[in-house]
Amino acid sequence: MRIIPAIDIIDGKCVRLTKGDYDTKKIYNENPLEVAKEFEDAGIEYLHVVDLDGAKASQIINYNVLEQIASKTNLKIDFGGGLKSDKDLEIAFNSGANQITGGSIAVKNKEIFESWIAKYGSEKIILGADFYPDNSGGKIATNGWQEESSLELIPFIADYQKKGIQYVICTDISKDGMLQGPSFEMYQQILTEVQPLKLIASGGISSFDEIPKLAENGCEGVIIGKAIYENKISLKQLENFIIKK
């Protein structure tokens, strides 16, 4: 299972939110490149970068930060947040993104998102399936998690899997930034009902012990944010996990 630390960006700075609420913003480092280099020094190969300004503005904003990290590290970066147009995608890939994540666009403009899958291939395009849990399993959220759609989580993923999507980042918004553990049962249900799928768990990771459990569940990757920044999981622990693989 791939270890994928997260860097969320507001005003060019490395921040974390709780449940996607911009009012809960906490700045962890003024220089995201410094953080990225620490990850790379720990043997980590992958990075998840979210342009939170872009998510709010519905267009790419912090591509300079992406370019800086991509040009000064060897990290393979998946980039998301506000990617709404062909031009946004060109900027992201030209700035050094290895993959891009589309969430809101996959809900609101299926035609353009499907055209990206056709143009760039399923290795380059990740489906962002961010959801609020409910009795049916979950409803997909959009626009930096500011809006809830009527789309149900598993049918939404299954529909795009049939259209060629391989990679899905699935975030339980109710758990994001809460440090209370991830949605093990939901990930298990998704992987049971939608196959084949490279599912990347995101949201709620609180301790190192949860990582092997997600691997056992069949998750292809795990995104870890606040648990690293709040020293709940050390880079040394992640380095040892990667070496043991």
Q: What is the CATH number of the domain that holds 63?
A: 3.20.20.70
**Into how many domains does the chain fold?**
1
Q: What is the pLDDT along the chain (245 residues), one digit of tens a residue?
A: 999 999 999 999 999 988 888 999 999 999 999 999 999 999 999 999 999 999 889 999 999 999 999 999 999 999 999 999 999 999 999 999 999 999 989 999 999 999 999 999 999 999 999 998 887 778 898 765 666 778 999 999 999 999 999 999 999 988 888 889 999 999 999 999 999 999 999 999 999 999 999 999 999 999 999 999 999 999 999 999 998 76
**Which residues are known catalytic residues?**
8, 130
**214 within 8 A of 187, measured Cβ to Cβ:** yes
pTM: 0.95
130: Cβ contacts below 8 Å, ≥ 6 apart: 20, 103, 140, 141, 142, 145, 169, 170, 171, 173
Can you give the residue range of the structural domain that contains 56? 2-244
